[in-house]
Amino acid sequence: MQKNTSQIAAFWLLICTSCLSYAGMSDYLDQWQGAVGGKTTAGSVASGSLSNDEMVAGLKEALGNGTQYAVNMLGKEGGFLDNARVRIPMPDSLEMVEKSLRMLRQDRLADEFVTSMNHAAERAVPEAASVFRDAITSMSLEDARGILAGPDDAATRYFREHTGAALTERMRPIVAAATAQAGVTASYKNMVAQAGGLGSLLSKDSTDIDGYVTRKTLDGLFLMLAEEERRIRENPLARTSTLLKKVFGSATP
């Protein structure tokens, strides 16, 4: 009888131990699945191990990568001119001048002016890298949290909203120097002179070519920046560092 009692006790001890082991393994598996799936549960390794400093640093790294991508894509010969998405067109205010020139079979003058504007943007873009880097450093923790939980271009939107005016101010003299080198002003004057009396009807705003090229240059940069941000968010292979994998992996739904 004593032997049977000992055997029964051993049997129940084995069952209890097995149950506890299974429960521990189940909890571990739940945590592992949460980490792999990017869930933001309390047991998720992915979300639980992401510090505030890492969050901010990861977003700054992503913006830095996006900026470099944009500069590399646009700051080269044909970067604007040969890319239909960012190519700078004739300003709307000069539409009548362009039509007049093309009616007079002076297409070359209009095309040269457009080409010179795009080449100016291409020359200005590399100088924008330092401007963007300075702007990235001001990002706060709250900004980072909102961006990480936002849409695919949340960082780019934040960047443009909070730094657009300052970037325009700092970029304009850079663009002005580039337009001078690219011969934009000379092309403009030549084009308007050949347009006859239409030139006298142009407003002061229509002659602010530097301002126009500056806006279009920044439009192109932000477009490329948004493209790279979206790629980092959607494609794990685009997360080229451990920090990017950690930060954007934790934000995966």
Interval 103-132: pLDDT, tens: 878 888 889 989 999 999 999 998 888 888
Q: Are 121 and 223 in contact (CB under 8 A)?
A: no
What is the mean predicted confidence (pLDDT) over 51-68? 85
Confidence bin at 245 (pLDDT 50/70/90): confident
Selected residue with higher pLDDT from 102 and 29: 102
Domain segments of the chain: what residues? 1-49, 51-250
Q: Which of 20-24, 129-133, 210-214, 245-249 has the lowest mean pLDDT?
A: 20-24
> pLDDT value at position 65?
86
Percent pLDDT > 70 in the chain is: 74
What is the mean predicted confidence (pLDDT) over 203-216? 79
Confidence bin at 215 (pLDDT 50/70/90): very high
> What is this structure's pTM?
0.72
Q: Select from 143, 130, 149, 152 the least CA-distant residue to 64.
A: 130
- Amino acid letter at 126? P
Sole residue written with tokens 């604007």: 80
Residue 169 CB neighbours (<10 A): 11
